[in-house]
Amino acid sequence: MSFREVGLLVVYAVYGGAWLVTGVSLWLYGERTARLGVAAHLRLLSMFAFVHGLSDVVDIGLRLPGVEATPTSALGAVRLTLLAASFILLLQFGLAISIRDQRIYRSIITLGAFGLIGLAAGLLSLYAEGASALEIGAVERAIRLLVGLPGALLGGYGFYMLSRRCQALNMRECARDTLTAAICLATYGVLAGAITSGYPAPTVILGLPIQFYRMLAAIGLAVACISLLKRLQVKPSEVAESG
């Protein structure tokens, strides 16, 4: 392997690791968070991050020497399925945190479940019919643009509105965290949803693969969300008083 290929694998490893850590951390911290009513919504973001991280792990496997790194391979199918599922979860999160209505939230969860089932059936049919790499690439670009990008932008908007709410409550540190999360998630949406290229060749920006910039956005989002949840944790004394 060339130095460039090794460097790309390192970027993918950190990128995927950032999402996996984000997913696990948000789930664990979210269980102990009751303020601002964000815990349920952040579980969706947690699931998106974890599933997306798994798709990146598969992507790393596809780039190892001797592995068939094509969209039509079995691993390619697993990668695309995980990627698409993660973007559906991201869209659910974006809708949920933007609308913030419990009745609509339940509908979003239900529709998301049907979306995942439909996605699995559609991709299974696509691969069963022996679709070409160009056709699969077009499907991936459509998923990124029509599902991933709106989900990230809606999620960014939801975080921005939450930041304004924190400001109104004089919770300045929480406002800073949510604003940072909004910027990172929206930036990630543009980088992962609007800017795409033929797989497996990565788009290069300023001499670096686009995954490097997505990695920075993912790390920024992880730090902001974990910091927010730490600030919003319910202390044992508060739990005892409420009981």
pLDDT at 183: 95
pLDDT at 124: 75
107 part of a folded domain:
yes
Maximum average pLDDT range among 66-75, 124-133, 178-187, 222-231: 178-187
pLDDT at 188: 92
89 part of a folded domain:
yes
Length, in residues, of the chain: 243
| pLDDT for 184 beyond 90 | yes
Per mean pLDDT, which range of 1-5, 10-14, 73-77, 203-207 is the poorest?
1-5
Q: Closest by alpha carbon to 88, among 123, 43, 47, 53?
A: 47
53 part of a folded domain:
yes
| pLDDT for 180 beyond 90 | yes
List, for residues 11-61, the tens digit of each pLDDT value: 778 888 888 988 888 887 766 554 556 666 778 888 999 999 998 888 887
Q: Domain span at residue 47?
A: 3-234
71 part of a folded domain:
yes
Cα-based angle 105, 27, 169 (whole degrees, multiple of 5): 65
All residues at 6 or more sequence positions from 75 whose CB lies less than 8 Å from its CB, including other chains: 58, 61, 62, 67, 68
Dihedral (CA of 185, 151, 36, 172) sign: positive
State the virtual CA torsion across 203, 226, 88, 84 in degrees, nearest 10: 40
146: number of CA atoms within 13 Å, CB side? 7
202 part of a folded domain:
yes
Q: At what angle do helices 39-62 and 74-99 cross, to 10 degrees?
A: 160
Q: Model's pTM, two decimal places?
A: 0.79
168 part of a folded domain:
yes
List, for residues 67-96, the tens digit of each pLDDT value: 666 666 777 788 888 888 899 888 888 888
243 part of a folded domain:
no
% of the chain surpassing 70 pLDDT: 79
Mean pLDDT score across all residues of the chain: 78
240 part of a folded domain:
no
pLDDT band with cut points at 50, 70 and 90 for residue 205: confident
Give the CATH number, domain containing residue 41.
Answer: 1.20.1070
The number of folded domains in the chain is 1
